[in-house]
Amino acid sequence: MTTRWIVGLAMTLAVLPIAARRGLWLYKLAMTGQPAPDRLANVERPKIGAAIKRQVVEVFGQKKLLKWTVPGMAHFFVFWAFVILGTVYLEAYGALFDENFAIPLIGKWDLLGFAQDTIALLALISLGVFAAIRWKDSPARKDRKSRFKGSHTGGAWLILFMIVNVIWTMFWFRGAAAAAGNLPYGDGAYASQAAGELFEGIENHDTLEWVETAGLWAHIGVMLVFLVIVVYSKHMHIFIAPLNVTFARKPNGLGPLLPMQSNGKPLDFEDFDEETDIFGRSKVEDFTWKGFLDFATCTECGRCQSQCPAWNTGKPLSPKMVILDLRDHAFAKAPWLLASEEERENLPESVKAEAERPLVAPLEEGGVIDPDVIWSCTNCGACVEQCPVDIEHIDHIVDMRRYQTMIESNFPSEAGGMLKNLEKAGNPWGMPARMRTEWTKDLDFEVKVLGEDVEDLSEVEYLFWVGCAGALDDKAQKTTKAVAELLHIAGVEFAILGQSETCNGDPARRMGNEFVFQMLAQQNVEVLNEAKATKIVATCPHCFNTLGREYPQLGGNYELVHHTQLLNELVANGKLKPVSNIEGTATYHDPCFLGRHNKVYSPPRELISKVGGLQYKEMERSKERSFCCGAGGARMWMEETIGQRINDNRTEEALSLNPDTIVTGCPFCKTMISDSVAGKQGSGDKSAEGVQVIDVAQLLVQATRPVKVGVAADGPQTGPALTDNDPGAGSQGTPSENPDQMAEPEADPTGEGGRP
């Protein structure tokens, strides 16, 4: 039938140029972004194996999607329907020219016919699941509690409708082919053969062939219409997501923040060009082409939004909406970005107005992203962890912060004191360096200090990186003392830097001040390298992450271990022996920078399990889905005035388990949760009565002492106080206001100290 192939090819030739033009447009738009040469290394020979593995695991294996079992399985079947039913379209185009066409070698293999029919039926069932989920979780029904809030839901329903059309036209074409004796499969294609029974009443063979031809045209036509819809909608991720996965940076955990780059090269703060160099992101074209790829890849599934602590506590930040707003702005500005200087003069006024919009500014002033959005982020990483297509939300938010902080000096005012204190005193509170060793005076054993007791760190096994909080904050000092005591009991040789230690720079970097970060980090790297540091133990996950994951960018390569990892190893080796029972119930809060950022989940829990008498309860939001305490991303030093306080939300979840003790492994988490508990105790909340918030090390040191102790406030203790019985001490990250421990005048110009 000549008409068959003429019509089929005509439809195809009419549509393919439309799709190709859109693809070329997207490529050109992405290329208006900054270079990202480090991303291209992902497809070079040394890393090609890892790139292929990512495709197998994340794209074809749907690993991240399957973390949510029901929608994950539904998407798994629909994805594989696209893959397997590609063979049906190959057969359909072959049938345009030969009604008895079969794919060479495998085209008459019943197993393939079975796979085609089965995956089509599973996809159809999955579409019903998707429809039910979208109806149940509709924004009209759940508002902010719906992960689809802000998504283009109409487009999603259209896609479900189009996939249904793909499947039923497939069975129309194949059923008619089976009835006409043209289907290359036998009983293996059971559903197609069953569909063929619907056409058995057509006795005229020519009529049957015309029915088959109509079904064939419908099947191909639906696919071509579907193709146009896909490339002009968010569903272009069908083609782009594998690329985004390929070019994503895939460390173990979330990995370090990327250093600032300009025009594809590291930005040199000592030698830069004010006119050509780029500091962060002030306009959409300042993002790299990988950023544009992120924008176009977003599926609008809302998994990131559903896990975001800011969004879940009523703040304006939705990681999904950040990406969508940047995408919509980029698309609207595209005519200006793609035009020459001369052509821009003749563009419509609406395009010119879009080009002039500030990237970060209040929405009422025309901003693309409201400042409250980027400053609500805690850098917890829940969005990146959940994203099934490897979008890197934190990188984009921090890059926008960098421009606002370093160029515009436009950031929350209360954080200004913290930055000044870091520059002047090397710690967020502006306290003098001599106070960094005060915590050692309460111990009944000697703590070695570099330069005083040891010449360099080759004389000990570990450098104990105490950190600013661990050295200067009352609550965190209890953890520091507990770790030091446990290392002493286990016979581990360690030393501290003492006054030579300064802030690792994490608060400055996460806030966007890369210059202050590099100043502090380079100072520390110089000290550490000169001291021959190799193995470092840290109690603060922010120190642990920064020294271990980010200092290599500046020539500092060290083996970092979190104190829970080291203590767990010492217990496993018999060097520490919990001998005393601690009666009560405990739950554990995963610090974001220990858990999601570095995948350390088991050691703290294993340590808790080795304490006799303690009943452990897991919070619903735990491990990779743990809820943030609210202190990360430099939020420790900023007001929280919008919505519910994040630490209160997390504390309420912990208290719902009726614990005696909330255990954590981070000084920031400990401060945030203990402050919330103290606030609830002060307001008469019975659920918080008698609840202690302590570090894993505090729990373990009590258990290693040969006395029976409890976790209640009046429980017996020996040695230095290791539980936080004074809720007001060091509240919100502020060291105790002992006049002898305060910094010199003007060390903290704002007087804010820490988080109010």
Q: What would the 3-class secondary structure string for 401-434 be? A: HHHHHHCCCCCCCHHHHHHHHHHHHCCCCCCCHH
Looking at residue 469, its amino acid is: A
pLDDT (tens digit per residue) in 265-294: 989 888 888 788 999 999 999 999 999 999
Q: Are 565 and 697 in contact (CB under 8 A)?
A: no
Q: Are 732 and 604 in contact (CB under 8 A)?
A: no
Res 738 pLDDT > 50:
no
Mean pLDDT confidence for 208-237:
93
**pLDDT-based confidence at 167, cuts 50/70/90?**
very high
In this prediction, residue 710 carries a pLDDT of: 52
Question: Of 281, 237, 282, 241, which is closest to residue 258 (Cα–Cα)?
Answer: 281
d(CA 109, CA 525): 64
Side-chain half-sphere CA neighbours of 468 within 13 A: 25
Question: Of 268, 260, 313, 342, which is closest to residue 34 (Cα–Cα)?
Answer: 260
**pLDDT-based confidence at 742, cuts 50/70/90?**
very low
Q: Are 156 and 147 in contact (CB under 8 A)?
A: no
Q: Strand pairing partners for 482? A: none
**Chain length of the chain:** 756
Burial annotation 538-575 (CB, 10 A radius, 16+ → b, else e)? bbbbbbbbbbbbbbeebebebebbbbbbbbbebbeeee
pLDDT (tens digit per residue) in 599-635: 999 999 999 999 999 999 999 999 999 999 999 999 9
d(CA 112, CA 561): 51
Helix H segments across 474-513? Answer: 474-490, 506-511
Q: Are 65 and 71 in contact (CB under 8 A)?
A: yes
- Residue 739, classed as helix, strand or coil, is helix
Instruction: Give, for 614, the enclosing helix (H) or strand (E).
Output: strand 614-616
In this prediction, residue 1 carries a pLDDT of: 65
Q: Are 269 and 254 in contact (CB under 8 A)?
A: no
Mean pLDDT confidence for 531-549:
97
What is residue 353's DSSP assignment? H
Mean pLDDT, rounded, of the chain = 91
Q: Strand pairing partners for 535? A: 559
d(CA 12, CA 225): 10
Residues 568-575: contacts with CB within 8 Å, 24+ apart? 568/603, 568/604, 568/606, 568/607, 570/486, 570/490, 570/492, 571/607, 571/610, 571/700, 575/490, 575/491, 575/492
Percent of the chain with pLDDT over 70: 93
pTM here is: 0.90
320, two tokens = 């999904």
pLDDT (tens digit per residue) in 80-134: 999 999 999 999 999 999 988 999 988 889 999 999 999 999 999 999 999 999 9
Residue 615 buriedness (CB in 10 A; 0-12 / 13-18 / 19+): exposed
pLDDT (tens digit per residue) in 674-733: 999 999 999 999 999 999 999 999 999 999 987 544 544 333 333 344 455 443 333 333
Percent of the chain with pLDDT over 90: 82
Q: Are 578 and 612 in contact (CB under 8 A)?
A: yes
Question: Of 642, 613, 618, which is closest to residue 630 (Cα–Cα)?
Answer: 642
